[in-house]
Amino acid sequence: MNIGFEGRVAIVTGAGNGLGRSHALALAGRGAKVVVNDLGAARDGVGASSQAAQEVVALIEANGGEAMAHGANVANMAEVEDMVDQAMQRWGRVDILINNAGILRDKSFSKMSLDDFKLVLDVHLMGSVNCTKAVWEIMREQNYGRIVMTTSSSGMYGNFGQSNYSAAKMAVLGLMNTLGLEGAKNNVRVNALSPTAGTRMTEDLMPKDLFELLTPQAVTAGALVLCDEDAPTRYILCAGAGGYASTRLFETDGIFLGTGQQTPENVRKQWDGVSDTSNQQQLDSAGKQTEKFLVKAMTDMQAQS
């Protein structure tokens, strides 16, 4: 069945270049009305220009679509609220939000200033928080919403020189996990995209022939699945160069130590059991971990009685 977005309104942040541009064009090409958000800053977040966003709007309109540009800095809540207000005034709803805007300030942790650390968190994490907060009640009241966070393999697995970026990209997964639970009853589904693409953020990090395999369009194909009416929720989709996979957090079954046995020495002695993956499982919420440990404790109590 074809995926389409007729009658839907989408906001894509950081949509003037790279992945955001690809997402915005693809959504519009399948019928969505699109807010093309872009501050127009350089890769490190310096500067501002509306030119890139206006070019994307012009492309959409030239192909018969509807779009508007907005230069909100996603780290500034007042500007984000103005962007959402303008979308509501023009189209009366917001159905899709792709939190894509980002910057890089790469350095090893020992050489990184706290200002550079905080700035990257402000854009990636608080930018996602601000944009999501601005559309959250709209989506809840209309009983429909599709929100995509942009995470990264750097966050999930680590990458030298990117402690700030990695921290932010892992944080949006925590945001996704809780908002997916909170939005469920109002049909607001929240997912995450982990892209590998050849954009201005990565163009000097790899050889040209490999860079050209990593097309933004390959990632966008996955992103649009997360924007669809039949999207999953709390799902991490990894996409790049035509490859698609999911990342999930699993917890081992673990071991149990009774009262009087709960010492660091005994924990270390049973480390193989703590680490054994044979009965690992994906937990639906934080409470499931507490439930698992209490079941082990109660089972032991019953065996002792």
Question: Using 50, 70 and 90 to split pLDDT, how confident is the model at 203?
Answer: low
- Give the catalytic positions in this structure: 165
- What crossing angle do the helices spanning 127-141 and 163-183 adopt, rounded to 10°? 10
pLDDT digits (tens, 9 = 90+) for 36-79: 999 976 665 565 568 999 999 999 999 999 999 999 999 999 99
Separation CA 170–CA 154 (nearest Å): 8
Tokens (6 digits) for 88: 């509501």
Residue 212 confidence (pLDDT)? 85
Of 59, 45, 153, 16, residue with least CA distance to 105: 45
Separation CA 300–CA 293 (nearest Å): 11
Of 19, 38, 22, residue with least CA distance to 79: 38
Least confident of 7-21, 51-65, 196-210: 196-210
Separation CA 98–CA 103 (nearest Å): 16
For the chain, domains (ranges, CATH) are 9-247 (3.40.50.720), 264-304 (no CATH)
Separation CA 129–CA 120 (nearest Å): 13
Separation CA 269–CA 256 (nearest Å): 12
Q: What are phi and psi of 149, to 5 degrees?
A: -85, 150
Question: Is the pTM here over 0.85, yes or no?
Answer: yes
What is the CB neighbour count within 10 angstroms for residue 52? 22
Q: Are 172 and 192 in contact (CB under 8 A)?
A: yes
- Return the percentage of the chain with pLDDT > 70, whole number: 94
CA angle in degrees (0–180, nearest 5) for 230-3-22: 110
Q: Are 101 and 39 in contact (CB under 8 A)?
A: yes
